[in-house]
A and B are shown apart, each in its own frame.
Chain A
Amino acid sequence: QVQLKESGPVLVQASETLSLTCTVSGFSLTNYGVIWVRQPPGKGLEWMGIIWRNGNTDYNSALKSRLSINRDTSKSQVFLKMNSLQTDDTAIYYCTRGYGGFDYWGQGVMVTVSS
């Protein structure tokens, strides 16, 4: 069955770089895109970016200067890196499969940025 799971540090210092991994199973990264979405505590959802099945990427322009998404298809992993973190980057970070809407989601990882 389709599964996605986010992993990474739960606490990051301000000005540092966040590195998260999304490990997928039940599908191939060469057949589906993977999207990153985040949600600050008690707030709504924000689309961050996508890595398409061909490896191309698109980013939210508000984050583009700080964000990169890459993948290792042999390990079925997608990587998110975002630098120059601030306290308002504190959020739950989700990865989700891109097909007909974002159909399957990971459980999310809560990342707190400490000043």
Chain B
Amino acid sequence: DVVMTQTPVSLPVSLGGQASISCRSSQSLVHSNGNTYLHWYLQKPGQSPQLLIYRVSNRFSGVPDRFSGSGSGTDFTLKISRVEPEDLGDYYCLQSTHFPYTFGAGTKLELK
């Protein structure tokens, strides 16, 4: 199985500040069709996960441009600029290139 190593586990931030979360995979996430199926989710307390970024760098509908995704191969990053209170929660990366699809263990974004 592809192991998704997500760091840090916990990320204290100040409102208005910037946050960066890393996700590294144990093998390349480039599919044989040329696409890279790496996605990012935010799970707020008591809620279902919500899609933020799909296929590395594409913001899902309604996601503010404060969220950006980048990376390639095995190394990916989610950046959040100008952190707002509604951005707090657990962030997960997901790879859907290889079966079984696998999630990172999560990063808790919390107030400093």
Q: Which residues of A contact B (CB under 8 A)?
A: 35, 37, 44-47, 50, 58-62, 94, 96, 100-103, 105-108
Contact = CB atoms under 8 A, between A and B. Distances in A.
B92 to A, nearest CB: 6
B92 A106 contact: no
B48 A45 contact: no
A60 B100 CA distance: 5
B92 A105 contact: no
A47 B103 contact: yes
What's the interface size class on B, roughly? 20 to 34
Contact of A44 (B53, B55, B60, B106): B106
Contacts, number: 57
B100 A102 contact: no
B100 A100 contact: no
A45 B49 contact: yes
Interface of B: 1, 37, 39, 41, 48-51, 53-55, 58, 60, 92, 94, 96, 99-106
A94 B53 CA distance: 19
Determine chain A's interface SS by DSSP, over half rule.
Answer: strand
A45 B103 contact: yes
B62 to A, nearest CB: 11
Contacts of B37: 101
B106 A102 contact: no
Contacts of B48: 94, 105-108
Nearest to B101: A47
Given A94-B48, A100-B58, A106-B48, A44 B103 contact: yes
